[in-house]
């Protein structure tokens, strides 16, 4: 008997012993963060009225809750204990958007594996991650939790992190169940406002927003979470089209679906459900197996079954899926469910991994006159900015279980690196990133003048991104811009390091700096990673996983846009200041762009500089004519033309020139991170298939059409080294 068959039998055998209230109990998840267990909660556990709990962070309480469920309930069914382990548990790794900037899915998998070990030791068997919503609007706070704007890149990271959390054996003591969220289209919320409406044509949904979820399902993700938003008028938690038709029937997902926090009840506010009873009915019919935090299932499912509105089979199917995951997790036998002992300090291996991830995630956006790296023999340096010595804010959103005493700040790392060989002039200049107090401007300028170079650590606090933290303006908060402008008057080399959870509109203030490093929120080992980059122990190698706008008025701005009938790069452009006064109405020969800002972003998707120069040459495609179902190779020679060993992310993009539905100007179809010594040349080859060049047509069929294609290979999405191939009948 196979393991899956054995688990199916165990789940069905257990289901046959359960009463209706016990079955409904398995579909109930509640939060509990107190250091005591109320008597009513104990009684619910004894009655089998709860299937899962989240946020039980007191180790003794975690263990006792499990003991009551197993030892004092009639059937002894363990709970699944959940926690938002988004980018680390005790060791905080870079935020997911920063991990995507590494373009290294294997590294992200290792980070997830380390986080799983720590969380499992603390008594958790389930994380509500990874979040794989495609995010093309940086105003949306949860872009920090995403892998950026591209479905190909996000799919690679989604699958890697699922495998990292779950390991090779979900029943292993150090494995935890992953949860693919938020299904689906959450990142397309209107205006970048959290929880808002999303209107997405189904072919766009299938080609852009669903691929990362399909990759997670293919990686055998244990659970899926519904989104808060509605899609085309139907809330995700009540959306049978996506939960049953696509997720289960088309993709064959056999894990269980959990609602997001009170998302079942929120369908009433959406105007989709009349009351909680209606919400319970529609959520279960749609395919939600477990309800998080709200009580529609607990209060109304039994009544709905007794009235014949909901079939017992629908209930049994949901409970069976939950039980199957519990058996797969080994909760009934192998996993030490009474053990909840959080690590006292992060392990050395995890700290080393956190530094490696932070180092690879940092993106060099500007390096005028080779300002960076700074000389290791520097004798005086000014370290400034509200985030230069902040051990909390650099951890980023969802940092609940990290500890500030583990964080190494940039100031600490720079002091440790330079030792007594240099004088460090430290002044935050502002009490926080949001402070408008200018009283320290004059002392800051004086310290800058006393120094050979200035390092300014700017950005946004961790609470300004993440869930429920959308922003209409993406500038540096508070008086940071003004302070940077003041310090720039010193005339000393100015290095700007941005620590943020999203792309910020830093174009104007970047002009005041000689070099700009975008470090996101890098986590526990923020300081040592940045010190290594600033002083040239390693070269920056991060690449942007999302396009940076010049201003909020360009949003949405992303590289895989359509060409339009009047593309701006093929038409003479008229800027607003050049239009004559009292001009008659005319298109002025203009194109699809803005009169006052143009059409180019501040920085394109995939962009990132290095301390060396990489030269691309000799692009080849073989064969250059293929049939649907056949494969082909594309290759390029990459040379490190500089004097420093460094890593480069080689990126491959494709365009379908003509199709029955218009296609984006470029689509990422491959990438590889390579390391080259000075003057070294490497041939980088990609194995591609004609099938990967398809799309969903108006009938929602995935098709590969014959025609001519352009292919680019380079260091970002503006790569211009191009070749052609053709798919033939």
The predicted-structure confidence for 601-653, as pLDDT tens digits, reads as follows 999 999 999 999 999 999 999 999 999 999 999 999 999 999 999 999 999 99
Q: Is the pLDDT of residue 59 over 70?
A: yes
What is the 3 state secondary structure string of 30-53?
A: EECCCCCCCHHHHHHHHCCCCCEE
Q: Does the reported pTM lie above 0.95? A: yes
- Report pLDDT for 263: 98
Predicted pLDDT at 552: 97
- Residues of the chain with pLDDT > 90, as a percent, come to 94
Please give the C-alpha separations between residue 208 and each of 140, 198, 205, 667, 696, in angstroms, as whole numbers: 17, 14, 6, 11, 10
Q: Which ranges of 249-382 would DSSP assign to H, the alpha helix?
A: 263-270, 276-286, 296-306, 312-328, 348-361
pLDDT band at 338 (very low <50, low <70, confident <90, very high): confident
Main-chain phi, psi angles of 104, to 5 degrees = -135, 80
Q: How far apart, in whole angstroms, are the C-alpha atoms of residue 487 and residue 481?
A: 10
Query: Which residues lie closer than 8 Å to 153 by C-beta, 6 or more apart?
Result: 100, 103, 147, 545, 668, 671
Q: How does the average pLDDT of the chain come out, rounded?
A: 97
Cβ atoms of 462 and 521 closer than 8 Å? yes
pLDDT at 335: 75
Please name every residue paired with 648 in a beta bridge, in sequence order, or none if there are none: 674
Domain 89-328 has CATH 3.20.20.300: yes
In the beta sheet, which residues pair with residue 722?
Answer: 712
What's the confidence (pLDDT) of residue 573? 76
User: Three-state DSSP class for 656?
Assistant: strand
| CB neighbourhood size of 211 (10 A) | 18
Whether 114 and 91 have beta carbons less than 8 Å apart is answered as yes
Mean pLDDT of 333-346: 85
> d(Cα 441, Cα 449) in Å, to the nearest integer?
13
At 565, list the tokens. Answer: 């009938």
Distance CA 448, CA 431 (A): 18
* pLDDT(336) > 80: no
DSSP string, 199-234: ---HHHIIIIISHHHHHHHHTT-SEEEE-SSEETTE
Under the banding of pLDDT at 50, 70 and 90, the label for residue 34 is very high
φ, ψ dihedrals at 622, nearest 5°: -145, 125
Are 374 and 535 contacting, i.e. CB atoms less than 8 angstroms apart?
Answer: yes
Predicted confidence band of residue 1 (pLDDT cuts 50, 70, 90): low
Please, are residues 724 and 709 in contact by the beta-carbon 8 Å criterion?
Answer: yes
Query: Average pLDDT of 377-406?
Result: 97
Q: Known catalytic residues?
A: 260
Domain 362-534 falls in which CATH fold? Rossmann fold (3.40.50)
Tokens (6 digits) for 161 = 């992190």
The ranges assigned to domains in the chain are 89-328, 362-534, 614-728
Residue 219 pLDDT grade (very low, low, confident, very high; cuts 50, 70, 90): very high
Closest CA to 365 of 604, 714, 526, 614: 604
Domains 89-328 and 614-728 share a fold: no
What is the third-level CATH fold of 614-728?
Answer: Immunoglobulin-like (2.60.40)
Indicate whether 414 pLDDT > 70: yes
Q: Is the peptide bond before 177 cis (omega within 30 degrees of 0)?
A: no
Res 261 pLDDT > 90: yes
Over residues 313-328, the pLDDT tens digits come to 999 999 999 999 999 9
pLDDT tens figures, 196-217 = 999 999 999 999 999 999 999 9
Task: Over range 453-458, report the average pLDDT.
Answer: 98
Report residue 315 as tokens: 């209930």
pLDDT tens readout for residues 417-437 = 999 999 999 999 999 999 999
| pLDDT tens-digit readout, 573-611 | 778 888 889 988 888 778 888 989 989 999 999 999 999
**pLDDT, tens only, 102-118:** 999 999 999 999 999 99
Cα pseudo-dihedral 236, 237, 242, 247, rounded to 10:
130
Q: Average pLDDT in the 465-480 region?
A: 98
Which tokens belong to 448?
């800058």
Per-residue pLDDT of 477-535, as tens digits, reads 999 999 999 999 999 999 999 999 999 999 999 999 999 999 999 999 999 999 999 99
Determine the Cα angle at 413 with ends 407 and 418, to 5°.
165
């Amino acid at each position: 008997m196979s393991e899956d068959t054995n688990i199916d039998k165990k789940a069905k055998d257990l289901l046959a012993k359960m009463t209706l209230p016990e079955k409904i109990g398995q579909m109930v998840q509640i939060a509990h963060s107190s250091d005591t267990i109320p008597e009513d909660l104990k009684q619910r556990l004894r009655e089998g009225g709860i299937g899962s709990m989240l946020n039980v962070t007191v180790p003794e309480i975690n263990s006792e809750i499990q003991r009551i469920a197993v030892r004092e309930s009639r059937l002894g069914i363990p709970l699944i204990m959940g926690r938002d382990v988004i980018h680390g548990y005790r060791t905080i790794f870079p935020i997911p958007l920063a991990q995507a900037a590494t373009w290294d899915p294997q590294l992200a998998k290792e980070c997830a594996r380390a986080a799983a070990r720590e969380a499992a030791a603390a008594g958790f068997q389930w994380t509500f991650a990874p979040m794989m919503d495609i995010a093309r609007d940086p105003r949306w706070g949860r872009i920090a939790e995403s892998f950026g704007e591209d479905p190909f890149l996000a799919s690679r990271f989604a699958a890697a992190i699922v495998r990292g959390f779950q390991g090779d054996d979900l029943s292993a003591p150090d494995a935890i169940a992953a949860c693919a969220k938020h299904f689906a289209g959450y990142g397309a919320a209107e205006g970048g406002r959290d929880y808002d409406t999303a209107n997405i044509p189904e072919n766009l949904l299938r080609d852009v927003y669903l691929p990362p979820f399909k990759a997670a399902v293919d990686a055998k993700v244990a659970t899926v979470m519904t989104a808060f938003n509605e899609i085309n008028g139907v809330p995700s938690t009540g959306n049978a089209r996506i939960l049953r038709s696509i997720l289960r029937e088309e993709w064959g997902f056999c894990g269980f679906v959990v609602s997001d926090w009170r998302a079942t009840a929120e369908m009433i506010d959406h105007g989709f459900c009349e009351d909680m009873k209606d919400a319970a009915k529609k959520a279960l019919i749609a395919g939600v197996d477990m309800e998080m935090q709200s009580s529609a299932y607990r209060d109304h499912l039994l009544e709905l079954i007794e009235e014949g509105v909901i079939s017992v089979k629908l209930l049994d199917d949901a409970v069976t899926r939950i039980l199957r995951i519990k058996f797969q997790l080994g909760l009934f036998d192998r996993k030490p469910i009474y053990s909840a002992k959080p690590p006292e300090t992060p392990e050395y291996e995890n700290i080393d991994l956190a530094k490696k991830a932070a180092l690879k995630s940092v993106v060099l956006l500007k390096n005028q006159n080779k300002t960076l790296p700074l000389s290791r023999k520097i004798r005086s340096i000014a370290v400034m900015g509200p985030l230069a010595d902040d051990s909390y804010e650099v951890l980023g959103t969802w940092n609940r279980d990290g500890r500030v005493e583990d964080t190494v700040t940039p100031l600490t790392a720079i002091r440790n690196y330079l030792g007594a060989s240099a004088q460090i002039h430290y002044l935050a200049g502002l009490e926080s990133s949001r402070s408008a107090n200018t009283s320290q401007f004059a002392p800051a300028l004086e310290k800058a003048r006393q120094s050979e170079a200035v390092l300014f650590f700017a950005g946004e606090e961790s609470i300004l991104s993440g869930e429920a933290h959308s922003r209409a303006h993406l500038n540096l908060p508070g008086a940071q811009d003004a302070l940077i402008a003041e310090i720039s008057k010193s005339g000393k080399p100015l290095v700007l390091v941005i620590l943020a959870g999203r792309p910020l509109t830093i174009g104007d203030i970047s002009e005041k700096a000689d070099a700009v490093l975008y470090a996101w929120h890098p986590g526990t080992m923020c300081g040592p990673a940045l010190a290594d980059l600033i002083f040239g122990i390693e070269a920056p190698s991060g690449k942007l996983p999302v396009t940076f706008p010049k201003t909020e008025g360009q949003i949405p701005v992303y590289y895989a846009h359509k060409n339009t009938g009047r593309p701006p790069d093929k038409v003479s452009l008229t800027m607003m200041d050049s239009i004559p006064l009292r001009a008659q109405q005319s298109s002025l020969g203009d194109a699809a762009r803005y009169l006052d800002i143009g059409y180019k972003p501040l920085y394109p998707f995939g962009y990132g500089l290095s301390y060396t120069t990489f030269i691309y040459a000799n692009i080849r495609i073989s064969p250059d004519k293929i049939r649907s179902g056949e494969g082909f190779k594309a290759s390029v020679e990459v040379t490190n033309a500089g004097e420093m060993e460094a890593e480069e992310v080689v990126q491959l993009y494709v365009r379908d020139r003509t199709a029955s539905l218009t296609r984006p100007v470029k689509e990422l179809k491959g990438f590889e991170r390579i390391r080259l010594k000075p003057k070294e040349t490497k041939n980088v080859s990609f194995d591609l298939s004609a099938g990967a060049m398809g799309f969903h047509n108006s009938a929602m069929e995935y098709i590969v059409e014959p025609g001519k294609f352009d292919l680019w290979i380079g260091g970002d999405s503006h790569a211009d080294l191009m070749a052609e191939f053709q798919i033939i009948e």
